[in-house]
Structure formats: structure tokens, C-alpha cells
Homo-oligomer: A and B are copies of this chain.
């Protein structure tokens, strides 16, 4: 589990990082909240621990901005015991509120509780259960046609090797063996559509002059 933290008290951050690190939870701390927001935009974490009492800006503002683009679980950690803060924080979309000082064990338990609820850890986005004929993408079942499913599975099993169109046509039952290589291109495009990565593919990459490669 990989967790982002916004905490300006470096010492506290290090203590927590050490304790949680030894329990298999990697902490990435940001003392600059704007840098954190930028990172959260492009990288994926399992949760965010947010300190409210920041020097530059109210942590609640950060939360508000964050919620415009992410539904990552957020635990607010604050020395402010004002009930109004709690209520406001939870209304702004925080998932939990932990008053300082707290025991690292409790933070750990809450992190686990929250991510268990979401059932989501930032491991590989794509999981395939060939027996059940099911593809999960970001923990949701993908609804694929037979050709789409078989191509994705084939690339998955050969990941991260680049596979040629010809090899796909030869080995995929749902493809007519007399088909043009272009058929593959079209179906790849449709899979990308369902992965929502038609522009800027992250998993299903084309390898110029060779074919296609899947990154799990």
C-alpha cells in the first residue's frame, strides 16, 4: 500500500513513515501541498493523510481542490479539535478525521479500514481471470466482445512482450485467419476505448513496426 501524506511537521512525518513502513505501508510525504496536488494528479496512491494546519494554506482548501479531480480516500489529521472543522472536512469529502495526537497503530487501522472499503490498492490495474472469462480494470469488470477479450488476454499472458498482428490473427479464435492486420488495429482501438485510454495509452501500447504490447 502506498499512501501520500501532506504534513509540514517533518519530524512527525518521519516517525509515521517509519512505523507504517515497517507495516508494509509506504508513505510519501509532501511538505509543499501544491506539489502534492500536482503529484496526486498524475500518480496513483491508495490514500492521502492530510494535515489541516499547514503554514501556507488551509488544508480544507487543498481537500476542496483535490476533490475536483480525485476520489482518493482522505484521512484528515489535525491538532484543531474544533467540531466545525470536523464537520466541514467530512462534508468536503474526507473519509475520516483523526485528532492529534494519535497512536500510529490507530492510523494504520484506519488506513486499512478505508482501503478495505474501497477494495482497491494501486497494484496492477488489469487483472484477468481466464477461467471465468473476466477482465477487471481498476477493479471493475470490463464488458468485452470475444475478440477483444481474447486479444487482451493474449497480450496479458505475453506481457510485456510486443506481439505482432500476424501472431494475434493466427492465435485468436474469434479472428478470421484471413483477416487483414488492420482488423487488429480497429479492435485494439475499441479495447483502448473501454480502458479509457484512447488518447495517451498507458497499458495497451503500440510498438512501431512490431505490433502491440501490454503493460500490466
How far is B80's CA from A109's CA once the two chains are assembled, in angstroms? 17
Contact B112 A83 (CB under 8 A): no
Specify how many copies of this chain sit in the oligomer.
2
A10, CB-defined interface residue at 8 Å:
no
Interface residues of A (CB under 8 A from B): 71, 83, 86-87, 90-91, 93-96, 103, 105-106, 108-110, 112-113, 116-121, 131-134, 141, 143, 145-146, 160-162, 174, 205, 207-210, 213, 215
Which residue among A90, A94, A103, A116 has the maximum number of chain B CB atoms within 10 Å of its CB? A90
Contact B146 A134 (CB under 8 A): no
Q: Which residue of B lies closest to A121 (CB)?
A: B118
Q: Which residue of B lies closest to A117 (CB)?
A: B95
How far is B116's CA from A91's CA once the two chains are assembled, in angstroms? 10
Contact A120 B71 (CB under 8 A): yes
Q: A105-B83, A134-B160 are in contact. Are A205 and B91 (CB under 8 A)?
A: no
Chain B residues whose C-beta falls within 8 Å of the C-beta of A91 in the assembled complex: 109, 112-113
**What are 12 residue pairs bridging A and B, where the CB atoms are less than 8 Å apart in the complex?**
A83-B103, A86-B106, A87-B106, A87-B109, A90-B113, A91-B112, A93-B116, A95-B117, A131-B161, A134-B160, A143-B205, A145-B208
Contact A161 B134 (CB under 8 A): yes
Contact A105 B118 (CB under 8 A): no
Chain B residues whose C-beta falls within 8 Å of the C-beta of A112 in the assembled complex: 90-91
CB of A129, distance to nearest CB on chain B (Å): 8
Q: A90-B112, A120-B71 are in contact. Are A160 and B132 (CB under 8 A)?
A: yes
Chain B residues whose C-beta falls within 8 Å of the C-beta of A205 in the assembled complex: 143
